[in-house]
Amino acid sequence: MGSQGIRAGQNVGGRFRLVAAIGKGGMAQVWRAHDLRTGRDAAVKFLRPDTEDLHQLDTRERLAELDMLRARFRREANLLAQLAHRGIPELYDRGSHDGMPYLAMRLVPGVTLHTFFAENGPLAPTVAAAVAAQAADALACAHTLPVVHRDLKPHNIMVSDEGVVVLLDFGIAKPIGAGVTQYTRHGSTLGSRGYQAPEQILEREPTTRTDIYSFGCVCYELFAGRAPFVLGEEKGLIEQHLHKDPLPPSAYAAGIPDALDDLLLRMLAKDPQQRPAIDEVIGVLNPLTPRPGSPEPRPRLRYDPTAPFRLPKNPPGDGSSATTPQPVPAVFGADDEWLDVRAVERLCDAAEQEIQEGDPDDAVRRLAHLAPRARQEWGARRPLVRRVWDLAADGLRIAGDCGGAAHLYESIADDLVRGEGPQERSDQAILRLRVAECRLAFGEIEAAIRVVEEAGYLAAGLPAPLAARVEEVRREVDLDLTERLAGPKIPEE
């Protein structure tokens, strides 16, 4: 049964009554449907096996392409089932309707960011920040899994009726790691023209930093009012993305802070390793968003992305993502004048015991929660502050929160390790190794190889006890790296 055979009024999966077609892409068609079980509306996405592109292939190629598309469709369902965030459509059901695979998910009434741009012209800075910060928070949820979206662009970002920003179309999204099956033909680049990272154009393996580049293009457009590269300049669009550095967005729009200027340019770095991680992106964007009680934009917006910040029920970035640990009950209230030293020491002891038992849990999460306050209140040189950060980072790493652990390790290296002596060089080497170990979960293999090699050279120049510490961690990371490089290809369901 082809997509032409889908009609309004049909019942899909015994649950979803089709109402109207609302969108069609290259290989999928989306219908608005009524969920008979819950009474709410849903979006039902069907794979289209009858497109013109497929008809141009011979029988063998067409069957191979259909197998790949069905596998991608299954992957999209598997990913959506794991991604729980209000900025990512929730998967309701999946199945086959008269031989055609379908996904049923939360319907997002609203407009695409592409339409939002067209309707509202240049955006006020707080409106741009509200869109960017919400999208970044949803992207962080995917990157924590870790999953790379691979097709971030204004057409795949929605602003809902309530002003919530939602990432759409995980159809070519991909989990990161060894053993993940490739569903791409050689010579076929994924992503959308004008938003592809250089490594996508060159058909290299994507990482989460690939999404950062595409998202950087979107954010540049949000704040500067134009894309970083446009047709009609001295080089073609692809050549510009590969070889040209963009102008700072402040060259096109007034009032852009230096920190945002710098962030957007680094997001568009040609070398993926020079791009910031999503947590750093969020750290720059969040302070630019409206606050509770802020005035609404003028002129008023039909779809207002500032509303979730100005009138918060569950504000963006509040930890509502299911892949992010829920806020822990505060041992130390935000209004307490000072942290209690003895209480912090007892919490460190509890976290240490959790780590030794191989089951980091509540105490580790509490330490990670209070670590910034301890650093602010007691300064960088107090040994207890370093103990808090070390235990929080080690605990999150062992618990599998690689993104959170990497952020803590990087902060320790930047703020808490001072001096150039042997002890400090040993500490820095171990911290860099731990960051590389965490980033391996996000597919950053080449960077890990460099860090492992550099640590070996550095250890050779350290006193024996310090060298042994570095070597122990270096061997751990090297073993992880070797296993990822040698991992078997495991087909996905």
Paired tokens of 315: 């504000």
SS3 194: coil
Output phi, psi for 174, to 5 deg: -145, 130
244 in a known ligand binding site: no
- Taken in order 244, 250, 253, 256, the sign of the CA dihedral is positive
The kind and range of the H/E element at 89 are: none
Paired tokens of 67: 């197998």
SS3 133: helix
Show the DSSP H helices in 17-100 as ranges. 52-55, 59-82
Contact at 8 Å (CB) between 142 and 167? yes
Distance CA 125, CA 137 (A): 18
Cis peptide before 122 (omega within 30 of 0): no
- DSSP bridge partners of 112: 158
Taking 3-state DSSP, the helix, strand and coil percentages for the chain, each rounded to the nearest 5, stand at 50, 10, 40
Question: Active-site positions?
Answer: 151
237-241-245-250 Cα dihedral, nearest 10 degrees: 70
Distance CA 270, CA 464 (A): 40
Paired tokens of 317: 């970035």
Residue type present at position 281: V
Binding residues for ATP: 45
Which residues line the annotated binding site?
45
